[in-house]
Structure 1
Amino acid sequence: MKALARFSDPTYALLRIVTGFLFGFHGLQILTGWQMPMHVALGSQLWIGGLIELVGGLAILLGLQTRWAALLCSGTMAVAYVQFHWKFAFGTQFWPALNQGEMALVYAFLFLFVACRGGVQWCLDRAD
């Protein structure tokens, strides 16, 4: 396993970049309605969440103010999970696989990890 340790920073950077891209793309979908069946009202809570996803996702992808962007995105996903998915009942609404909150929960913890670790490699935070 020590042979794999030398790839930890580039692998983490790829995780950060791909996750930032996917998160930002989802925010773009919310804001523009592209390939989404719903209309989001300007200034609504969902619209603000989409804006955070777009801007935060791009910042994480580029590694620009990575820790702050990831912390904001983590909190946004935690709020999304608690407000829209989690219900305090041990039926179908309690478990993430059943309340469709898996991705919000994964994003919340993944961005918390990114906030703790920072940009590390291939990021604008390290550009001099």
Structure 2
Amino acid sequence: MNYSAIAFALLRIVAGLLFAMHGSQKLLGFPGDGQTVPLGSLMGVAGIIELVGGTLVMLGLFTRVAAFIASGEMAVAYFMAHFPKHPLPLLNQGEPAVLFCFIFLFIAAFGAGIWSLDSLRHHRQPDVLPPTGSR
């Protein structure tokens, strides 16, 4: 059994879900204190990208495009909100933005993998990671 394909699918699903929850918090006030941001604001646009992009990544639908856009949003968020405080993510509370950026960049490069709607749409076997230790 190829456990790396399962681990990647779980990473994609969990990262997409957590990202979507950031968007739902901004747009719907849930989970959280019920406060929302204006839809047309910069934070509102970020919330739309997070909610829609995270959901698409989680479902594995249009995964490469959604993950690429989400990665770009996180890069912009890091340099706009965190980097001005200090260049190091550990000192500017930017670790989540950096992690999301690189996780989504990897997903954009790799594709949806197993357990995805993209694999059903294309009626083919999804890409799988090579087994560890093989050459």
TM range, smaller chain = 0.7 to 0.9
The 5-angstrom pairing of residues 65-80 of structure 1 reads 65-80=62-77
Deviation at 1:119, TM superposition (A): 0.5
Superposition RMSD on alpha carbons, in Å? 1.5
Which position in structure 1 is the counterpart of 2:97?
104
Aligned length: 120
The 1-side partners of 2:41 and 2:2 are apart by 45
Identity value in percent: 47
1:113 aligns with 2:106: yes
1:81 aligns with 2:74: no
Conservation of the 8 A alpha-carbon contact between 2:25 and 2:36:
no
Which position in structure 1 is the counterpart of 2:6?
10
- Structure 1 length-normalised TM: 0.88
The one-letter code of the counterpart of 2:77 is A
| Range with bigger deviation, 110-119 or 34-43 | 34-43
Deviation at 1:25, TM superposition (A): 0.9
Unpaired runs of 5+ in structure 2? 124-135
Deviation at 1:52, TM superposition (A): 0.3
Which has more helix, going by share of residues? 1
Structure 1 ranges of 4+ moved more than 2 A: 36-39
- Structure 2 length-normalised TM: 0.84
Deviation at 1:107, TM superposition (A): 0.4
